[in-house]
């Protein structure tokens, strides 16, 4: 059964309103993002909590359209190869799902199959030897996306970015071997208003003393 769409409490505080309004946006206006806004979003990421306060993140920022497109196409090609190697049977269908296309496509013909035409791509890395890095990076990215919404930008986390390490273009990012790309966050002025997805609601369990041990 489909759950009801969550709604905030009446007159939510500003932060809660922004949490509810953030969406994964996959269509962007052809409009550059001001450098100070990019910086503000990254600064908010830096304010995220991190295990043992290691602040393991580093940010590699692309703002040049042609470069973003080139990375996008290479990442898509590598991802498809990885899927076929890992034996996933219906590769195109899987890729289509993961790349968030709802109908048949030839991703090689697409301008920007991974970064959805966003004018800013931020790759977030952390040292390879940090077992908490995926959690830290997740918190950092969420801070960034909420800050983006607060300053009038839209965003989307792009997990596909992790394939960038196997692209020929990767050296252009200048990421040292000691670091790994965990995620990217794309930013821009959105050109769509996606529907809010229903949120599952049957996943909270209050444990009572009376339940026994």
Ligand X SMILES: Cc1cc2nc3c(=O)[nH]c(=O)nc-3n(C[C@H](O)[C@H](O)[C@H](O)COP(=O)(O)O)c2cc1C
The 23-42 contact track toward ligand X, x by CB under 6 A, reads xx-x----------------
Among 197, 198, 200, 201, interactor with ligand X by CB under 6 A: 197
Q: What is the rounded CA–CA span in Å between residue 173 and residue 171?
A: 5
- 8 A C-beta contact, residue 71 and residue 127: no
Q: Which of 15, 46, 159, 168 binds ligand X (CB under 6 A)?
A: 159
The yes or no reply on residue 17 touching ligand X (CB under 6 A) is: no
Q: Which segments of 10-152 are extended strands (E)?
A: 58-62, 120-127
Q: x/- contact string, 168-187, with ligand X (CB under 6 A)?
A: --------------------
Nearest approach in angstroms of CB 182 to ligand X is 9
Q: Which of 166, 74, 154, 163 is nearest to 120 (CA)?
A: 154
**For residues 40 and 46, what is the distance between their CA atoms, to the nearest angstrom?**
10
Strand order in the sheet with 179-188: 58-62, 120-127, 179-188, 154-158
Q: Going residue by residue from 138 to 157, which x/- string records binding to ligand X, judged by CB under 6 A?
A: ------------------xx
How many of the chain's residues bind ligand X (CB under 6 A)? 11
> Looking at 158, 181, 185, 187, which residue binds ligand X (CB under 6 A)?
158
Task: Please report, as ranges, the residues that interact with ligand X according to CB under 6 A.
Answer: 23-24, 26, 100, 156-160, 194, 197
């Amino acid at each position: 059964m489909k759950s009801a769409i969550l709604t905030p409490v009446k007159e939510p505080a500003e932060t809660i309103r922004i949490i509810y309004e953030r969406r994964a946006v996959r269509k962007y206006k052809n409009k550059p993002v001001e450098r100070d806004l990019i910086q503000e979003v990254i600064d908010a990421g830096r304010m995220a909590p991190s295990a043992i306060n290691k602040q393991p993140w580093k940010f590699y920022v692309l703002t040049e359209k042609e470069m973003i497109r080139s990375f996008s196409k290479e990442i898509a090609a590598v991802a498809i190869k990885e899927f076929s190697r890992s034996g996933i049977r219906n590769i195109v269908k899987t890729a289509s799902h993961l790349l968030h296309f709802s109908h048949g496509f030839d991703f090689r013909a697409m301008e920007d199959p991974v970064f959805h035409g966003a004018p800013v791509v931020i790759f977030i890395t952390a040292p390879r030897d940090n077992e908490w890095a995926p959690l830290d990076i997740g918190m950092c990215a969420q801070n960034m996306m909420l800050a983006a919404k607060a300053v009038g930008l839209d965003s989307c986390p792009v997990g596909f970015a992790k394939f960038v390490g196997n692209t020929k273009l990767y050296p252009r990012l200048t990421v040292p071997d000691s670091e790994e790309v965990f995620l990217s966050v794309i930013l821009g002025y959105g050109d769509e208003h996606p529907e809010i997805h229903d949120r599952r609601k049957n996943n909270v369990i209050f444990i009572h003393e009376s339940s026994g041990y």
